Amino acid sequence: MGFWVAAVTMCAAQTASFNDSVIVVFGDTRTNHEVHKVLVKDIMNFKPVAVFHTGDLVFNGAKNSEWTLFKSIMKPIIDSSRLYPSFGNHEMHSKLMSKDFTMPNNGKWYAVNLMGIHFVVLDNYSDFSVASEQYMWLVADLSSVPKNMFRAVVMHLPVYTSGPHKTKLKQIRKTLVPVFEKYGVNVVFSGHVHCYENASAHNIYYITTGGGGAPLYSKATNIPESKMYMKTYNFCTLQIKNKALEIQALDTNLRVIDEFSIK
């Protein structure tokens, strides 16, 4: 799959169009539950086939009450769609998360095929060093993906960020990025930094969508890979149109704040 930007826009007047067969990615819903509720309502306008969560679903993964509240807010999505979460630092590898949500493979890292897109969900808080179980699984998984499928990775920690958090940045770039590049990953979705950011490097988009309700972060630095940074609550939609993967980022008013295509 080639790397092709159809358009990158930041137009407050442009609103989303609701179409069939949409996948949603968002994350960091751990606080500000009223914002979380608004985002769930916005997402349900798209009747998503599936929703991927980039981690930090709750503030304290060990507390049953927080999972109860999370599930009550997410009920429309849970009842009508499929929820695929990744572990963030606030989950603390909670068994409650693995118990409450059906996560394939070992419940930490797994792969799902949807709409011609191969999704890989990684666990940044388990060992992913070279020769680790997760690393070897990732290589085996990506090497077996049919050439005609798009490849998307969902994980908590960003690879490129202009925000204040640089958690495991060097380790991820040294270990995971060469695998992403070798096996043709098209887009990587992350959270952890509470914002929306579109960065790119070596034919891969690196999207931070950590605006699910946690306190928003201001931009902290300038990096050459970043094309856009917005301190706003947000979620992303994915659709296949004319053999291209169309991705939009939207705010809580359903305004399209960014969009691009991958052919």
- Cα 162 versus chain centre, distance: 17
Segment 12-23 shows an average pLDDT of 57
How confident is the model over 74-129, as pLDDT tens digits?
Answer: 999 999 999 999 999 989 888 777 666 778 888 899 999 999 999 999 999 999 99
How confident is the model over 220-255, as pLDDT tens digits?
Answer: 999 999 999 999 999 999 999 999 999 999 999 999
pLDDT for position 100: 62
Judged against a pLDDT cut of 80, whether residue 45 lies above it is answered with yes
Angle CA 133–87–76, to nearest 5: 135
pLDDT for position 19: 53
Segment 186-191 shows an average pLDDT of 98
Report yes or no: 212 and 226 within 8 Å, Cβ to Cβ: no
pLDDT over 70 for what percent of the chain?
A: 91
Structure tokens at 230: 């917005």
Look up residue 192 and give its amino acid. Answer: H
Global pTM? 0.90
> Could you tell me which residue, 186 or 105, shows the higher pLDDT?
186
Count of all residues that appear for the chain in the document: 263
pLDDT for position 17: 45
Segment 188-217 shows an average pLDDT of 97
pLDDT over 90 for what percent of the chain?
A: 83
Q: How many CB atoms lie within 10 A of CB 84?
A: 21
Sequence-distant (6+) residues with CB within 8 A of 102 are: none
| CA–CA separation, 177 and 97 (whole Å) | 27
How confident is the model over 135-165, as pLDDT tens digits?
Answer: 999 999 999 999 999 999 999 999 999 999 8
The hierarchical CATH code for the domain 23-262 is 3.60.21.10
Report yes or no: 198 and 249 within 8 Å, Cβ to Cβ: yes
**Spatial CA neighbour of 250 closest among 227, 232, 229, 225:** 232
pLDDT for position 94: 81
Beta bridge partner(s), residue 204: 201
**Spatial CA neighbour of 88 closest among 194, 7, 198, 15:** 194
Starting from the edge strand earliest in sequence, which strands make up the sheet with 110-114, in order?
110-114, 117-121, 150-154, 187-190, 204-209, 196-201, 226-230
- The beta strands (E) that lie in the chain are given as 23-26, 50-53, 83-85, 110-114, 117-121, 150-154, 187-190, 196-201, 204-209, 226-230, 235-241, 244-250, 256-262
pLDDT for position 8: 31
- Residue 252 is classified by DSSP as T
Mean pLDDT for the chain overall: 91
**Spatial CA neighbour of 150 closest among 108, 185, 193:** 185
Locate the domains of the chain by residue range. 23-262
pLDDT for position 149: 96
Range in 12-16, 101-105, 216-220, 259-263 with the lowest mean pLDDT: 12-16
Sequence-distant (6+) residues with CB within 8 A of 123 are: 86, 87, 108, 109, 134, 155
Sequence-distant (6+) residues with CB within 8 A of 21 are: 49, 115, 239, 240
pLDDT for position 98: 63
